[in-house]
């Protein structure tokens, strides 16, 4: 039989149409047939979810990572979406101090310079927020919000973070007459859930807040949730909390010999345990201090659905802790081009517009749940029968 | 040496070296040989050795490109240009 | 009207009708391809735009008079880059290209021209690392992808060309539209690019291209399934999971193969009857056979620029020695140029032990295979069908093992994997 001459046009066309037809038929069949994983995998959802998790992981880069595969694996990662070398992570900048035994790094007080295209603007108390004082001003109700990079406002000016937009709106009367409100931004890019819990338990108290809002984001839920814990083990640091020590012991980790990857794998089944521990600790702190705590779920644009699914899977844990929660996962719904709300194609943190949408949604959620607004902001003085919450000095200096 | 003699010699070589068992009628003068993979990297070297031995020409590395060796026509034209 | 004129007109109408039928047949397939791309959300949104642009360009190009098609292709590439990457990046790319072309056409000797091009290239390499104010970050990897290898091939051909290079050929060869998206791009040979243009009827070439695009789309979907089901390397602690991880890691190459099929298939739509980029590499029966089947354009690039020049220089002193040294040079060049490619695409050079060891081992095996082939004078080894099947399995296993080394983050990590302790 001749090897030459190639394939006939008719045969080529038939093969092509058979291939394309088969792919289209498979698309029509797989979904309804319930082969969800296969269909999601073929459609790229699994890859996109993993890439999002990898992006999140790499975004808060682990200094101890043995290193991404720079060899053959990069064929699969593709070079179409490179992160420019000057697009630094927070801990790669001059804006942090590495003097925290548990947190490892913190925002450097008075740090300036640029971070992801916006002024870093850390105040003298080490918060990426407007200047303030350690002691609350008389007559001002103080709310501490604890979270990671979205709260911190990576890539947007301090005044444009959703937390400050909400503060301005509440002070202007968007939710009735709440008096003077000050919302403190304790957000630090890269902090995992165990770190956020530590901020609540160990740091916010010095600022004497009247209420605390704890942000739940994808860093608490995605496969990279344990990164900070693994760092602590790798660096032989004190885990500080018995709950964490117990969790590590149950995971069977031998920090002396297990690699970073092995520790991560061993911790995989314990994500919910860490979440439960953290929420219990925060609930206990609430009871001990009398400071009300509310949870706030946030995510980046275009990935809210995935975060929502993960959050739904741990909803029972959240409910068991007895802490109320508002969700801003729908903040970007209906936006015609969610990807335009990303800082850059390789960085999905919200833009200024994204923060505005988050702020609008938070205010709207509070308007729909006035009890939670009262819990955090104090009663609406314009409502009949409301009793203003005492905040600091009882004098009214409005 | 005429172009036809060159062509016949080249066709015989290709049929004996790269297209063993193939019907000679299928080896047309414009059939792609290099770009279709019929003549691979080792085949290029054997082709070059054949052209040098058979026609007494010298072939340099840069002359083994597809422009000179992709088809029987191209090979014949190349040899003819070398022979002057 | 005479009978002859009537017959001629009838023949003309018949050819037109045939041309319309062929076009419609191609168009139907292209619509199906776009539907598959859309339904499966293949690649990124930019890829979807590229596909639409190529189909639209094909529809115009097909009906142009033959003399207009090549200039249209070149201009279409320039416009396409502006549409896909923005006018700033496109202008910068075209300007960089014109600078290179201007240097090539300088009325001075060859080596001064090369020196000037090297200097400009070095300056651009520095720019890749430091950035340049006002130059978008997206510019640098695309610049590298376009010029880092094709410029070397181009200069090699121009040096030995009998006529001065043309600007039209330069623009058409470098601003290949699929390269705007596929930064990891097959090293299209310059001479092959020119030789393959319009060598078959456009409809036939386009049909081949469409088939390759469909094949590429299938490979990209299969890649996703492999990626989704691939076990986590850290948990690969049994023989079965390690083997599964290794095999599926190798199969991730389907993404590269798929992209290359689509990229070159797109060029076929415009009459470039280019060779295939891969040829059933999973069925290679030896390391040498594997090298010739996987990323054929890379193999041909290395062959043309490194292997043949070295071999021809040394062959008088013995073909076996020449083959061994030429193969060694070819693999050292491959190792260095892979790092060069990584620098341009990702901003950092590639220097890891797994990568170095991978190319070293493959190079040593290829030297051995080349020497054996040279001794055999190209005759294939004599094998029964069972023997051939065994050779394919053995080669597959060897490549899978080497590939797992290449994919490991470090040598200790690879040893952990092989010793069933989980890799990384």
Shared-domain flag, residues A28 and A116:
no
Distance CA A151, CA A163 (A): 7
**Contact between C303 and B41 using a beta-carbon 8 Å cutoff:** yes
The tokens for C167 are 């600007």
What is the distance in angstroms between the Cα of A327 and the nearest Cα belonging to chain C?
29
Higher-confidence residue: A356 or C134?
Answer: A356
Domain limits, chain B: 3-20+34-83
* Chain A interface includes B66 (CB < 8 A): no
Which helix (H) or strand (E) segment holds residue A199: the answer is helix A193-202
- What 3-state DSSP class applies to A239? coil
Q: What is the total residue count of chain C?
A: 424
Shared-domain flag, residues A33 and A180:
no
Q: Which residues, at least 6 apart from A158, have a Cβ–Cβ distance to it below 8 Å? A: A119, A121, A128, A129, A130, A164
Shared-domain flag, residues A113 and A205:
yes
Distance CA C309, CA B65 (A): 11
CA dihedral C75, C81, C87, C89 (to 10 degrees): -130
Rg (CA), chain A: 24
Q: Quick: pLDDT tens for A75-109.
A: 333 333 456 666 788 888 889 999 999 999 999 99
Interface test mutation site (partner A, options C178, C212, C224, C236, max chain A beta carbons within 10 A): C224
Is pLDDT above 80 for C97? yes
Higher-confidence residue: C330 or A255?
Answer: C330
Residue with tokens 């490892």: A104
What is the distance in angstroms between the Cα of B60 and the nearest Cα belonging to chain A?
29
At A84 the pLDDT is: 64
The domain tally of chain A equals 2
CA C385 to chain centre: 32
Residue A330 lies in a domain: yes
Question: B41 to chain C: which residues are within 8 Å by CB?
Answer: 292, 299-300, 303, 307-308
Distance CA A335, CA A148 (A): 24
Strand A211-216 versus strand A140-146 pairing type: parallel
Residue A19 lies in a domain: yes
**Contact between A259 and C422 using a beta-carbon 8 Å cutoff:** yes
At A64 the pLDDT is: 20
C residues 181-220 lying closer than 8 A (beta carbon) to A: 181-184, 203-204, 207-208, 210-211, 214-215, 217-218
Q: Return the CATH number at A259.
A: 3.40.50.1110
At A45 the pLDDT is: 66
At C4 the pLDDT is: 52
Measuring CA to CA, which residue among A204, A157, A156, A202 is closest to residue A184? Answer: A204
C164: left (phi over 0), alpha (psi -120 to 50) or beta: beta
Greatest distance between any 2 Cα atoms in chain C: 87
* Chain C interface includes B63 (CB < 8 A): yes
Question: C40 to chain A: which residues are within 8 Å by CB?
Answer: 23, 27, 42-44
Interface test mutation site (partner B, options C275, C380, C382, max chain B beta carbons within 10 A): C275
Distance CA A149, CA A154 (A): 6
What is the distance in angstroms between the Cα of C399 and the nearest Cα belonging to chain A?
13
Shared-domain flag, residues A200 and A253:
yes
Question: B17 to chain C: which residues are within 8 Å by CB?
Answer: 378
Shared-domain flag, residues A103 and A51:
no
Q: Quick: pLDDT tens for C182-217.
A: 888 999 999 999 999 999 999 999 999 999 999 999
Cα of first residue to Cα of last residue in chain C, in angstroms, is 81
DSSP state of C162: S
Question: C160 to chain B: which residues are within 8 Å by CB?
Answer: 62-63
Q: Among C41, C131, C215, whose Cβ lies nearest the Cβ of A43? A: C41
Is pLDDT above 70 for B58? yes
**Half-sphere exposure (Cβ direction) of C112: Cα atoms closer than 13 Å:** 5
Is pLDDT above 80 for C69? yes
- Report the DSSP beta bridge partners of residue A145: A185, A213
How many Cβ pairs within 8 Å bridge chains A and C? Answer: 166
Rg (CA), chain B: 12
Distance CA A285, CA A17 (A): 65
Shared-domain flag, residues A249 and A311:
yes
Which chains contact B through at least 3 pairs of Cβ atoms less than 8 Å apart?
A, C
Question: B30 to chain C: which residues are within 8 Å by CB?
Answer: 199
Q: At what angle do helices C167-174 and C87-104 cross, to 10 degrees?
A: 130
CA dihedral C366, C369, C373, C374 (to 10 degrees): 60
Is pLDDT above 70 for B53? yes
**Contact between C160 and B63 using a beta-carbon 8 Å cutoff:** yes
Opening angle at CA C15, ends C14 and C16, nearest 5 = 90
Measuring CA to CA, which residue among A273, B62, A220 is closest to residue C305? Answer: B62
**Contact between C217 and A20 using a beta-carbon 8 Å cutoff:** yes
Which chains contact A through at least 3 pairs of Cβ atoms less than 8 Å apart?
B, C
Question: In the structure, what pLDDT confidence band is assigned to residue C294 with cuts at 50, 70 and 90?
Answer: very high
Strand A325-327 versus strand A342-344 pairing type: unpaired
pLDDT tens, N- to C-terminus, chain A (398 residues)? 344 556 678 888 888 989 989 988 888 887 666 566 676 677 766 666 665 555 443 222 221 222 222 233 333 333 334 566 667 888 888 899 999 999 999 999 999 888 998 999 999 999 999 999 999 999 999 999 999 999 999 999 999 999 999 999 999 999 999 999 999 999 999 999 999 999 999 999 999 999 999 999 988 888 789 999 999 998 899 999 999 999 999 998 888 877 777 788 788 889 999 999 999 999 999 999 999 999 999 998 877 777 888 888 888 888 889 999 999 999 998 888 888 898 887 788 999 999 999 999 999 999 999 999 999 999 988 777 655 544 444 333 33
Q: Among A19, A67, A69, whose Cβ lies nearest the Cβ of C214? A: A19
Question: C214 to chain A: which residues are within 8 Å by CB?
Answer: 15-16, 19-20
Domain limits, chain C: 35-206, 211-418
* Chain A interface includes B5 (CB < 8 A): no
Q: Which residues, at least 6 apart from B41, have a Cβ–Cβ distance to it below 8 Å? A: C292, C299, C300, C303, C307, C308
Distances (CA, A) of C178 to B81, C46, C186, C193, C319: 37, 11, 10, 15, 40
Strand A180-185 versus strand A96-100 pairing type: unpaired
Measuring CA to CA, which residue among A221, A230, A265, A245 is closest to residue A65? Answer: A230
Measuring CA to CA, which residue among C125, B46, C210, C317 is closest to residue A14? Answer: C210
At A105 the pLDDT is: 93
Q: Among A12, A43, A71, whose Cβ lies nearest the Cβ of C352? A: A71
Is pLDDT above 90 for B59? yes
Distance CA A265, CA C96 (A): 48
Question: C290 to chain B: which residues are within 8 Å by CB?
Answer: none
C residues 382-421 lying closer than 8 A (beta carbon) to A: 403, 406-410, 413, 416, 421
- What 3-state DSSP class applies to A293? strand
- Report the DSSP beta bridge partners of residue A114: A119
What is the distance in angstroms between the Cα of A53 and the nearest Cα belonging to chain C?
14
Question: A4 to chain B: which residues are within 8 Å by CB?
Answer: 19, 22, 26-27, 31, 38
Distance CA C410, CA A357 (A): 44
Nearest CA in chain C to A257: C421
**Contact between A2 and B31 using a beta-carbon 8 Å cutoff:** no
Measuring CA to CA, which residue among B36, B59, B44 is closest to residue B13? Answer: B44
Measuring CA to CA, which residue among C143, C144, C174 is closest to residue C157? Answer: C174
Question: A3 to chain B: which residues are within 8 Å by CB?
Answer: 19, 22, 38
Distance CA C223, CA C257 (A): 10
ipTM of the complex: 0.92
The tokens for B67 are 């422009």
Distance CA C55, CA B71 (A): 31
Range of the domain at A153: 90-377
**Contact between B31 and A4 using a beta-carbon 8 Å cutoff:** yes
Distance CA C46, CA C52 (A): 10
Please, are residues A304 and A350 in contact by the beta-carbon 8 Å criterion? no
Q: Which residues, at least 6 apart from C205, have a Cβ–Cβ distance to it below 8 Å? A: C198, C268, C271, C272, C273
Please, are residues C347 and C129 in contact by the beta-carbon 8 Å criterion? yes
CA C266 to chain centre: 12
SS3 percent helix, strand, coil of chain B, rounded to 5, is: 65, 0, 35
Measuring CA to CA, which residue among A85, A81, A91, A143 is closest to residue A339? Answer: A81
At A313 the pLDDT is: 83
Residue A81 lies in a domain: no
Which helix (H) or strand (E) segment holds residue A96: the answer is strand A96-100
Please, are residues A155 and A149 in contact by the beta-carbon 8 Å criterion? no
Beta strands in C273-323 (DSSP E): none
Fold classification of B3-20+34-83 is 1.10.1200
Is pLDDT above 90 for C229? no
Distance CA B11, CA B7 (A): 6
* Chain A interface includes B22 (CB < 8 A): yes
Number of H helices, E strands in chain B: 4, 0
B residues 22-41 lying closer than 8 A (beta carbon) to C: 30, 32, 35-37, 40-41
The tokens for A26 are 């498979």
At A77 the pLDDT is: 39
């Amino acid at each position: 039989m001749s090897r030459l001459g190639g394939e006939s046009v008719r045969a080529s066309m038939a093969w092509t149409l058979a291939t394309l037809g088969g792919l289209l038929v498979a698309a029509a069949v797989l979904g309804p047939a319930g082969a969800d994983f296969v269909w999601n995998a073929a459609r790229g959802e699994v890859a996109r979810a993993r890439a999002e998790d990898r992006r999140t992981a790499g975004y808060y880069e682990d200094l101890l990572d043995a290193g991404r595969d720079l060899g053959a694996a990069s064929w699969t990662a593709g070079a179409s979406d490179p992160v420019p070398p000057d697009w630094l992570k927070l801990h790669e900048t001059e804006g942090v101090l590495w003097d925290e035994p548990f947190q490892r790094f913190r925002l450097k007080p008075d740090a300036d310079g640029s971070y992801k295209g916006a002024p870093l603007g850390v105040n003298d108390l080490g918060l990426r927020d407007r200047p303030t004082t350690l002691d609350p001003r008389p007559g001002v109700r103080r709310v501490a919000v604890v979270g990671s990079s979205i709260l911190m406002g990576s890539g947007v000016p301090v005044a444009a973070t959703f937390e400050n937009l909400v503060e301005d709106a509440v002070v202007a009367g968007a939710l009735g007459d709440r008096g003077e409100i000050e919302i403190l931004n304790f957000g630090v890019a890269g902090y995992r859930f165990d770190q956020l819990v530590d901020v609540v338990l160990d740091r916010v108290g010095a600022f004497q807040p009247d209420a605390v809002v704890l942000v739940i984001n994808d860093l608490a839920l995605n496969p990279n949730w344990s990164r900070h814990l693994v760092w602590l083990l790798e660096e032989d640091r004190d885990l500080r909390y018995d709950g964490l020590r117990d969790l590590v012991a149950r995971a069977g980790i031998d920090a002396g010999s297990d690699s970073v990857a092995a520790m991560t794998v061993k911790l995989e089944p314990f994500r919910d345990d860490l979440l439960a521990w953290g929420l219990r600790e925060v609930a206990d702190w609430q009871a001990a201090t009398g400071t009300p705590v509310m949870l706030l779920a946030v995510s980046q644009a275009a990935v809210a659905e995935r975060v929502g699914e993960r959050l739904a899977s741990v909803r029972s844990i959240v409910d068991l802790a007895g802490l109320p929660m508002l969700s801003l996962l729908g903040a970007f719904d209906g936006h015609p081009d969610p990807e335009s709300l990303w800082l850059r194609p390789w960085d999905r943190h919200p833009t200024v517009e994204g923060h505005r949408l988050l702020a609008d949604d938070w205010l709207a959620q509070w308007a729909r749940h006035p009890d939670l607004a009262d819990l955090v902001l104090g009663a609406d003085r314009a409502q009949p029968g409301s009793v203003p919450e005492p905040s600091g000095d009882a004098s009214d200096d409005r | 040496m005429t172009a036809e003699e060159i062509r016949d010699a080249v066709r015989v070589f290709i049929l004996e070296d790269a297209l063993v068992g193939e019907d000679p009628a299928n080896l047309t003068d414009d059939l792609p040989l290099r770009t279709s993979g019929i003549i691979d990297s080792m085949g290029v070297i054997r082709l070059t050795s054949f052209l040098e031995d058979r026609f007494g020409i010298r072939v340099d590395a840069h002359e083994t490109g597809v422009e000179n060796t992709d088809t029987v026509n191209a090979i014949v034209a190349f040899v003819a240009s070398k022979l002057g | 009207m005479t009978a002859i004129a009537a017959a001629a007109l009838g023949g003309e109408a018949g050819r037109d009708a045939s041309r319309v039928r062929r076009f419609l047949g191609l168009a139907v397939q292209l619509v199906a391809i776009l539907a598959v791309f859309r339904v499966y959300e293949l690649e990124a949104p930019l890829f979807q735009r590229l596909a639409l642009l190529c189909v639209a360009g094909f529809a115009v190009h097909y009906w142009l008079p033959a003399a207009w098609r090549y200039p249209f292709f070149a201009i279409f590439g320039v416009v396409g880059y502006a549409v896909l990457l923005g006018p700033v990046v496109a202008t910068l790319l075209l300007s960089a290209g014109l600078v290179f072309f201007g240097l090539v056409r300088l009325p001075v000797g060859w080596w001064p021209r090369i020196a000037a091009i090297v200097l400009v290239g070095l300056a651009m390499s520095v720019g890749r690392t430091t950035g340049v104010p006002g130059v978008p970050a997206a510019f640098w990897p695309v610049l590298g992808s376009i010029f880092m290898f094709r410029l070397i091939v181009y200069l090699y051909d121009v040096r030995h060309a009998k006529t001065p290079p043309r600007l039209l050929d330069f623009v058409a060869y470098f601003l290949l539209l699929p390269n705007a998206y596929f930064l990891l791009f097959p090293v299209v040979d310059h001479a092959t690019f020119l030789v393959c243009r319009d060598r078959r009827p456009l409809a036939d070439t386009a049909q081949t291209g469409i088939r390759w695009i469909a094949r590429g789309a299938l490979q990209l979907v299969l890649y996703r399934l492999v990626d989704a089901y691939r076990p986590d390397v850290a948990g690969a602690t049994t023989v079965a999971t390690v083997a599964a991880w290794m095999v599926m890691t190798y199969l991730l190459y389907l993404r590269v193969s798929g992209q290359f099929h689509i990229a070159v298939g797109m060029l076929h739509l415009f009459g470039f009857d280019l060779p295939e980029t891969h040829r059933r590499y999973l069925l290679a029966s030896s390391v040498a056979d594997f090298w010739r089947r996987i990323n054929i354009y890379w193999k041909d690039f290395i062959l043309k620029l490194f292997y043949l020049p070295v071999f021809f220089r040394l062959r008088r002193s013995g073909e076996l020695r020449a083959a061994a040294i030429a193969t060694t040079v070819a693999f050292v060049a491959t190792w260095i140029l892979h790092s060069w490619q990584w620098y341009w695409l990702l901003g950092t050079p590639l220097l890891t032990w797994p990568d170095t060891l991978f190319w070293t081992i493959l190079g040593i095996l290829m030297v051995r295979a080349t020497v054996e082939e040279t001794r055999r004078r190209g005759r294939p080894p004599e094998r029964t069908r069972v023997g051939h099947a065994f050779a394919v399995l053995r080669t597959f296993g060897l490549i899978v093992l080497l590939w797992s080394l290449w994919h490991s983050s470090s040598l200790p990590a690879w040893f952990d994997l092989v010793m069933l302790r989980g890799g990384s």
